[in-house]
């Protein structure tokens, strides 16, 4: 595919990282930077060429076993106005939420619209999936090469089942992830042979 000549007009970088703490909790950070290649007038300030329009960071501390938010810190390091920082403490309302199904709706109810910052709030989506992936990384390290099929005894239904095409209940992937011999009858996935 041949593209026409293009000129960059805006760059957005979103970076997420998960960190295992010494106390066994996870810190997950999501950072956003909006950069103006040519510079711009934001009415409240002038941004020079290559300058930053937005630079925001959200950090949550979660427990690995239940993915409950224990602490949260939202910061606007650079914003288009002097008023952007005023909303940072609103994100304390996220403490106690679980990073599972329904998280985005719960976020919207607490810090959506004028109750939050558009950019800080949008960081919470990739932050949540980064937390889940970080939890998986810790679990793989603890598993130390052992496979679910190598173990005996009941195994709790993994939370990823039913979340996408690959993890649909009838998928062969689910049988590897959650071997039939380790399932409790009451937790059999819908549509799976009983």
Please state the rounded mean pLDDT for residues 6-23: 97
Cβ within 8 Å of residue 95, ≥6 positions away: 69, 70, 71, 72
CA distance 107 to 46: 32
Q: What is the pLDDT of residues 31-41, one digit of tens each?
A: 999 999 999 99
Phi/psi for 97 (5° steps) reads -70, 155
Q: Positive or negative, the Cα torsion across 64, 67, 72, 76?
A: positive
Domains of the chain: 11-143 (3.30.390), 148-187 (no CATH)
Biggest CA pair distance of the chain: 65
State the pLDDT at residue 188: 62
Residue 82 has pLDDT above 60, yes or no: yes
Mean pLDDT of the chain: 92
Q: What is the pLDDT of residues 86-139, one digit of tens each?
A: 999 999 999 999 998 899 999 999 999 999 999 999 999 999 999 999 999 998
CA distance 109 to 103: 10
71, 61 in Cβ contact below 8 A? yes
Residue 194 has pLDDT above 60, yes or no: no
Q: Encoding tokens for residue 132?
A: 């889940």
Buried b (16+ CB within 10 A) or exposed e, 20-56: eeeeeebbbbbbbbbbbeeebeeeeeebeeebbbbbb
């Amino acid at each position: 595919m041949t593209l026409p000549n293009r000129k960059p007009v805006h760059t957005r970088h979103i970076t997420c990282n998960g960190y295992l703490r010494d106390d066994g909790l996870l810190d997950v950070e999501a950072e956003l930077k909006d950069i103006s290649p040519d510079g711009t007038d934001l009415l409240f300030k002038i941004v020079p060429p290559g300058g930053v329009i937005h630079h925001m960071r959200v950090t949550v501390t979660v427990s690995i076993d239940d993915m409950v938010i224990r602490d949260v810190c939202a910061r606007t390091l650079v914003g288009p106005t002097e008023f952007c920082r005023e909303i940072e403490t609103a994100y304390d309302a996220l403490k106690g939420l679980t990073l599972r199904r329904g998280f985005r709706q719960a976020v919207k109810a607490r810090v959506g619209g004028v109750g939050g910052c558009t950019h800080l709030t949008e960081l919470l989506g990739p932050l949540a999936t980064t937390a889940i992936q970080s939890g998986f990384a810790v679990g793989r390290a603890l598993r130390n090469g052992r496979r679910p099929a190598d173990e005996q005894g009941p195994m709790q239904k993994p939370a990823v089942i039913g979340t996408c095409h690959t993890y649909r209940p009838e998928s062969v992937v689910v049988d590897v992830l959650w071997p039939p011999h380790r399932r409790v009858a009451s937790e059999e996935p819908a549509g799976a042979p009983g």
